Amino acid sequence: MNTTNKLPELLIIYIRPHFIFFDMFLISSIFLGCIFCISFIYISVGYRSCHSVLTLLSANSCVAGLIFNCVQLSNALLLFRDDIYLSTSNQNQYCEIRNYLMHVSGSLLYYSYCIQSISRLCFVVFYKHSFLLSYHIHFILIAIQWTLGFLLPISILTSSHRQYQTETSQCFITIKNVSQILYGMISTFLLPITIISICYTHIICFVRAAVRRAKKTNALPARRFNLKRDQG
């Protein structure tokens, strides 16, 4: 009886060191990402030569990435603590708040990339409209991004179908709440990725059309030159 009861404990002790190794690797990777984000923000703010609309959007993405890394770092540290002490955290320990912040940070990051794609669309396709290239428009886009980033995932706090996952020490919406899962997927991932895809597809089509027009324009003088050379 004693041997049978101790067998699961021995298996847990054998597996936990592997989890600790991966936790340390995850924490170090996230910490390195935080350093890169802080470095870019410092450079973009501290040097006047870097002050531009494109740098502003990149710094905005770095701020969103820094928030995302900080949220993931807190989750990784909590998981690391659980693996060290061979225990599981209390599911009521700010579980809903951490889940909300995880979705907020992801939304902020994805929508920051969405703003970058919209800005590139304005600079490449709608470059004749100078007001679209101004700081004022981009500050409005950034304000919309941060507003959506905090408001869209707020329904997670009111969702009643949540399940605590001991492996990750986090709360997740159960499969039973299909509408909430679809809403989270569409608002956090599908919508910004769709906008990004549309913007870059339009940019590629515009550039290809411009290249074709340039080739036709350059081909006409070359034909005239060859014709005169043959006649002469």
Chain-centre distance of CA 41, in angstroms?
Answer: 17
Of the given ranges (47-56, 68-77, 83-92, 94-103), which has the lowest mean pLDDT?
83-92
What is the structure's pLDDT at 116? 95
Of the chain, the percentage scoring pLDDT greater than 90 comes to 39
Q: Are 96 and 162 in contact (CB under 8 A)?
A: yes
Is the pTM value of this prediction over 0.85? no
Q: Which of 6-15, 46-55, 71-80 has the lowest mean pLDDT?
A: 6-15
Per-residue pLDDT, 50? 81
Q: What tens digit of pLDDT does each residue of 184-230 get?
A: 888 888 999 999 999 999 999 999 998 888 877 765 555 554 545 45
Residue 4 pLDDT exceeds 50: no
Look at residues 163, 146, 156, 162 and name the one whose alpha carbon lies nearest to residue 184: 156
- State the pLDDT at residue 96: 76
Mean pLDDT of the chain: 80
CA distances from 39 to 36, 106, 112 (A): 5, 21, 18
Instruction: Annotate the chain with three-state secondary structure.
Output: CHHHHHHHHHHHHHHHHHHHHHHHHHHHHHHHHHHHHHHHHHHHHHCHHHCCHHHHHHHHHHHHHHHHHHHHHHHHHHHHHHHHCCCCCCCCCCHHHHHHHHHHHHHHHHHHHHHHHHHHHHHHCCCCCHHHHCHHHHHHHHHHHHHHHHHHHHHHHHCCCEEEECCCCEEEECCCCHHHHHHHHHHHHHHHHHHHHHHHHHHHHHHHHHHHHHHHHHHHHHHHHHHHHHHC
pLDDT at 92 over 60: no
Residue 91 is part of which domain span? 2-231
Mean pLDDT value across residues 81-102? 69
CATH of residue 216's domain is 1.20.1070.10
Distance CA 57, CA 65 (A): 12
Exposure of 193 in the CB half-sphere (CA atoms within 13 A): 7
| Residue 172's pLDDT band (cuts 50, 70, 90) | low
C-alpha to C-alpha distances, 26 to 9, 31, 189, nearest whole angstrom: 25, 9, 23
The tally of domains found in the chain comes to 1
For residue range 118-155, what is the model confidence (pLDDT) as tens digits?
999 999 999 888 898 999 999 999 999 999 999 988 87
In this prediction, residues 85-112 reach a mean pLDDT of 77
Please report the pLDDT score of residue 48 as a whole number. 82
